[in-house]
Every structure is written in structure tokens, then in C-alpha cells.
Amino acid sequence: MATWRLPLLRRTPYPYSPPPPFFSYSTTSHKPQIRRKFVKCMEESTSSTLTQSQIPKTSTWKPMCLYYTQCKCTKMDDPLHIDKFRHSCSVESVSGLRNQLQAQEFDYFLVLDLEGKVEILEFPVLLFDVKTMDVVDVFHSVWHDTAIKFDEVIEQFEDWLNKHRLWKKEQGGYLNQAAFVTCGNWDLKTKIPHQCEVSEMKLPPYFMEWINLKDIYLNFYNRRAPGMLSMMRGLQMKPFGSHHLGIDDSKNIARVLQYMLTDGALVQVTARRVPGSPDKVKFLLENRIR
């Protein structure tokens, strides 16, 4: 969201599940094993969903189990753990919605909120289904410079996209009926290209355009909101979780997105890289947050 955001260790303390262990550093020879393990985890997502249906629902907010978001939770049969931590990516419904839905260009939105000052430390993406008006899946990777490499995170992310039929390398590497949604331009305009440069990898084609929800908010409600918290205040929504914990911020952004969609907002691409000059970005809305 912004380059000045605080490190993860200094965020406001909330009760939350201990962060999952970082991936151990892997050489090229170990890389296929990590990839197979991640793909196997995704293939088991259907069976884990059945377990979620047995979890009692409550209106009380609970912190997300960070092990669960990375397919690492081993306490799904522990009632105390289930009662304390959330094991569902679903967005809580907002009361008083007016159901003035507009037809959208995209079937899915990929809600992204990166964390990290120098290098990216957290890469959370929530898959928001426009038809169900809810988050239906989550991709979440946490790492640092001694753990899994960024290019391996991207490969895992592409496996996840492919599982949902939102991306195929053979089709040019662009998204299919989906678009990234961010709170600001920093994540995709600045940080992803910088991380790709540091990791000595080419910028993937699906990072060429995105939706800055702050610009959509400005044009739809005709009032400025320089950040996620100000958007939520304007909609009289209470933020959940820890600010600057990417998975929590992503969920709050998804809640704002859900509210705006049901309010009748048209959520469209607001920024696109210039073909042939990826360092240049064209902003598509004249009225935007600068």
C-alpha cells in the first residue's frame, strides 16, 4: 500500500495464531519437491472445505489461523483451536446493503495487499467471486530472504491461478476474467516490479493492469479516501484484525469491495502499463487519488 508502512513486528498486537514457520531455503534440486507439496495441498482443498462446513459459525470476529492460509494447520480437529481462530476465507456480510448490483466486466477479483519495506515479506491474495459476492479461496505466502525465493512464490501463485482457471501460460500469461484489486497503486506499480528486479526475473504479464479501489471509491461516492481505514470510516465499517498484516488488510479491502459492489459501483481497471514500455503506467480515470 505505501512504502512507509511499519515492519510486521511493530504492528498493533492482537491475539492471533502464531505465524507458520518460514520455508527453508531450497536449491534448484529441491525446488520440484516444494512445488509438488504445494500442488498437493491445493488438490486437497475440496476435502478441507468439507471440514469447514462442520465448523460452527459465529458473528464474533476471530483472527485468521495463519497456518490454515498456507495449508499447514494440523489442529482442525481441536475444538479449542477452532473456537479461537477462524478457518474460513469468507467475508462477513455487511448489514443494510441496497442490492443495486451492476454487471461487471470481471467474474473474479484478486484482492492483494503486499507487506514489506525493502523486499516483499507477505504475499496474500483473496479470490473474490462476483456471483457469490464472497471470498472463495486464498493464496498466502510469508517468507524472508533466507527462505523460499520470490520466483518460487510466483510459480506457486500461478499454480493456484491455474487451478481456478484464471490463468494459463500457454495463453500469453494474462488473467482470464479476473483483475487485481489493491488499495493504492504502490503494490503493483512499484513493489512488484522492484521485487522482480531484485529477484532477477521478468515481470509476469498479469501484473500489467490493476484496480485501485481508492480511485473507484472517489469516483463512485464523490469523496476522497486516502487509505483503507478512511474508506472504512466513510462506509461506517469497523476494521478487523491487525493493520499492516497483509492477510487482514486484504480481507478488509475485500469487505469494502463487497460493500461497494452491492451499493452499485462499477469496478473497472484504473491503471495499465504502456505496451512496450512497462516502466510507464497510464492511469485511466481523470479523477483519482494522487
43 catalytic per annotation: no
- Choosing from 87, 115, 122, 140, the catalytic residue is 115
d(CA 142, CA 246): 10
d(CA 135, CA 181): 13
Polymer length of the chain: 290
144 catalytic per annotation: no
Report whether 284 contacts 270 (CB < 8 A): yes
- Choosing from 92, 194, 244, 286, the catalytic residue is 244
d(CA 182, CA 112): 5
Q: Which residues, other chains included, contact 24 with Cβ-Cβ below 8 Å and sequence gap of 6+?
A: 147
Angle of helix 31-43 relative to helix 45-53, nearest 10 degrees?
Answer: 40
Cα dihedral: 110, 188, 219, 132 (round 10): 0
**Side by side, which strands form the sheet with 134-142?**
134-142, 122-129, 108-112, 178-182, 209-212, 271-274, 277-283
Active site residues: 115, 244
